[in-house]
Structure 1
Amino acid sequence: MKERGAQVALLVVMVGVSVYLWNTLLLYPIKLFVVLLHELSHGLAAVATGGEIVSIEVSERIGGVCKYRGGNPLVVASAGYLGSLFWGGLILVAAARTRASRGIALTVVLVMMIATVLWIRNTFGVYYTAGFAIVLLLMSRYLPQWMLRLVLQFLGTASCLYVLVDIYEDLIVVYQEGSDADVLMSLTEIPAVLWGILWGALASAMLGYSFYLAGTAKPRSAAENSEPDSGA
Structure 2
Amino acid sequence: MDEPFPFPDVPAVPPSPAPPPLGGGRDGAGPDVRGGRAPTEKLPLGGMGLPLILFVLSVWFWHSPLVYPIKILTVFFHELSHGLAAVATGGRMHAIELTADQGGLCWTAGGITWIILSAGYLGSLLWGSGLLWLAAKTRWDREIVQGLGLLLIGVTAVYVRTWFGLAFGLGFGLALLALARHFGAVVCDQFLRYIGLTSSFYVILDIKSDLIDRSIPQSDAFRLGEMIHLPGWVVGVGWMVVAIWLTVRVLESTMTSDPGSRV
TM-score (norm 2): 0.80
Q: Which residue of 1 is the match for residue 119 of structure 2? A: 79
2:50 & 2:106 partners in 1: Cα distance?
35
The Cα of 1:167 is off from its aligned counterpart by: 0.4
Q: Which residue of 1 is the match for residue 184 of structure 2? A: 144
Q: Which residue of 2 is the match for residue 113 of structure 1? A: 153
2:229 & 2:118 partners in 1: Cα distance?
15
1:154 & 1:198 partners in 2: Cα distance?
26
1:99-132 deviation per Cα after TM superposition (whole angstroms, max 9, x unaligned): 1111110111121122112111111101110000
Report the residue type matching 2:119 in the other structure. A
Which stretch shows the higher mean deviation, 176-185 or 190-199?
176-185
* Structure 2 alignment gaps of length 5 or more: 1-40
The answer on 1:55 being equivalent to 2:69 is no
Q: In the alignment, which of 61, 68, 71 is matched to residue 28 of structure 1?
A: 68
* Structure 1 alignment gaps of length 5 or more: 225-232
The Cα of 1:149 is off from its aligned counterpart by: 1.2
The answer on 1:67 being equivalent to 2:98 is no
1:126-172 deviation per Cα after TM superposition (whole angstroms, max 9, x unaligned): 11100000001100000122112111111111111100100011111
Q: Which residue of 2 is the match for residue 175 of structure 1? A: 215
Alignment of 1:8-19 (within 5 A): 8-19=48-59
The Cα of 1:35 is off from its aligned counterpart by: 0.2
The Cα of 1:4 is off from its aligned counterpart by: 6.8
> Greater helix share, 1 or 2?
1
Calculate percent identity across the aligned residue pairs: 36
2:257 & 2:50 partners in 1: Cα distance?
12
1:72 & 1:182 partners in 2: Cα distance?
17
Structure 1 stretches of 4+ moved >3 Å: 1-12
Alignment of 1:150-229 (within 5 A): 150-219=190-259
The Cα of 1:219 is off from its aligned counterpart by: 3.0
1:212 & 1:184 partners in 2: Cα distance?
31
Native 8 Å contact 2:86 2:92 kept in 1? yes
Report the residue type matching 1:73 in the other structure. T
1:102 & 1:209 partners in 2: Cα distance?
24
Report the residue type matching 2:91 in the other structure. G
Report the residue type matching 1:48 in the other structure. A
2:49 & 2:141 partners in 1: Cα distance?
20
2:62 & 2:184 partners in 1: Cα distance?
27
Q: Which residue of 2 is the match for residue 94 of structure 1? A: 134
The answer on 1:133 being equivalent to 2:185 is no
Native 8 Å contact 2:131 2:193 kept in 1? yes
Find the structure with the greater CA-based Rg: 2
